[in-house]
């Protein structure tokens, strides 16, 4: 009997990433379709179902080869029912994603938060390396989090667990955040936040290689900020210090509570690699309890854009 495959689906504001994945977490085939936000996103379940049929046909496989679908979605989700209360980027409001997708595909569907499935992907097949206690932080346009404790993803009382990007790191006078609060971790440690800090640091005209990059390309990436800091640029170093101080302190406080074996850092900002991890770990170790710091290993996420679809397949596998 042929081993069945799982379908991992990672729904973003622009594209929907999809993959057929084996029970061991190996990707058989992966592809993307555009996110159709017309009509309040109501056509998305049909689009996903059609994409699954097409890809199966293309691979010469029957849809019977598929066991279940695991979906990561943005927004506020009821994980038990797969109901999306609201996902602003997609246009969904009170949208029965699980039911609709089950109807369109005839397959069992399970839905979780996009940051959570990325954390599960890293736990299963990425740098989490099977750790049963894992803290994942994604530094992208925003800051997302996923927490695995006792081998399970934490969803919390109403699906909000892992929202560490909105931990307050500057209690008074912080920058406004998209969530309506101010001084959230996301305002300083996201790609957007880091670029803003760099632009502010350059505003007084201090000499910096970042000023040259800005002049040449009209923009600075967070990776360039970390590289310039490593090469001794003082403006870049001050920005890196500010980012790593706040992020390191926030992660240390979470680690005292969760005592993770791995802290996995992903998202666009993590492309800075060791230039990010070295100063980050040094701040973390100032603030974490020594035994907590001993127990925690920092890792850059290794699955990149595949984390979501692999984590989607993992939650689909839990259905069987």
Residue ranges that bind its own copies, judged by CB under 8 A: 76, 131-133, 145, 147, 149-150, 152, 154-164, 166-168, 171, 179-181, 245, 249-250, 252-254, 256-261, 287, 289-292, 294-296
Q: Compare residues 100 and 315 and give the one whose CB is closer to its own copies.
A: 315
Q: Compare residues 39 and 150 and give the one whose CB is closer to its own copies.
A: 150
Q: Compare residues 256 and 305 and give the one whose CB is closer to its own copies.
A: 256
Q: How far is 215 from 77, CA to CA, in rounded Å?
A: 43
Query: What minimum distance in Å lies between the beta carbon of 92 and its own copies?
Result: 16
Residue 15 Cα distances to 47, 131, 188, angstroms: 12, 30, 26
Q: Compare residues 133 and 224 and give the one whose CB is closer to its own copies.
A: 133
Q: How far is 72 from 116, CA to CA, in rounded Å?
A: 8
Query: What minimum distance in Å lies between the beta carbon of 101 and its own copies?
Result: 24
Query: What minimum distance in Å lies between the beta carbon of 211 and its own copies?
Result: 30
Query: What minimum distance in Å lies between the beta carbon of 218 and its own copies?
Result: 35
Query: What minimum distance in Å lies between the beta carbon of 31 and its own copies?
Result: 33
Q: Compare residues 81 and 158 and give the one whose CB is closer to its own copies.
A: 158
Query: What minimum distance in Å lies between the beta carbon of 255 and its own copies?
Result: 9
Q: Compare residues 272 and 296 and give the one whose CB is closer to its own copies.
A: 296
Query: What minimum distance in Å lies between the beta carbon of 14 and its own copies?
Result: 25
Q: Compare residues 181 and 195 and give the one whose CB is closer to its own copies.
A: 181
């Amino acid at each position: 009997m042929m081993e069945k495959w799982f379908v991992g689906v990672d729904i973003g504001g622009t594209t929907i990433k999809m993959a057929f994945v084996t029970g061991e977490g190996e990707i058989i085939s992966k592809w993307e379709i555009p996110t159709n936000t017309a009509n309040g996103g109501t056509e998305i379940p049909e689009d996903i179902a059609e994409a699954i049929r097409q890809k199966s046909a293309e691979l010469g496989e029957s849809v019977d080869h598929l066991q279940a679908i695991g979906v990561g979605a943005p927004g506020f989700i009821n994980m038990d029912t797969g109901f999306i209360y609201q996902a602003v980027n997609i246009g969904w409001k009170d949208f029965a994603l699980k039911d609709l997708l089950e109807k369109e595909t005839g397959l069992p569907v399970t839905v979780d938060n996009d940051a959570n499935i990325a954390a599960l992907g890293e736990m299963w097949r990425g740098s989490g390396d099977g750790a049963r206690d894992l803290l994942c932080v994604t530094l992208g346009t925003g800051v997302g989090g996923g927490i695995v404790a006792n081998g399970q993803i934490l969803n919390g009382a109403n699906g909000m667990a892992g929202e560490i990007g909105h931990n307050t790191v500057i209690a008074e006078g912080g920058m406004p955040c998209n969530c309506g609060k101010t001084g959230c971790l996301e305002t300083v440690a996201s790609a957007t936040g880091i670029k803003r800090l760099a632009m502010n640091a350059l505003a007084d005209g201090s000499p910096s290689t970042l000023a040259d990059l800005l002049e040449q390309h009209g923009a600075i990436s967070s990776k360039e900020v970390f590289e310039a800091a490593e090469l001794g640029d003082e403006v870049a170093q001050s920005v890196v210090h500010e980012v790593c101080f706040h992020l390191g302190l926030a992660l240390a406080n979470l680690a005292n509570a969760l005592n993770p074996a791995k802290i996995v850092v992903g998202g666009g900002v993590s492309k800075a690699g060791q230039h990010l991890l070295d100063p980050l770990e040094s701040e973390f170790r100032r603030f974490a309890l020594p035994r907590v710091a001993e127990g925690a290993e920092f890792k850059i996420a290794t699955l990149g854009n595949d984390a979501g679809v692999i984590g989607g397949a993992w939650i689909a596998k839990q259905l069987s």
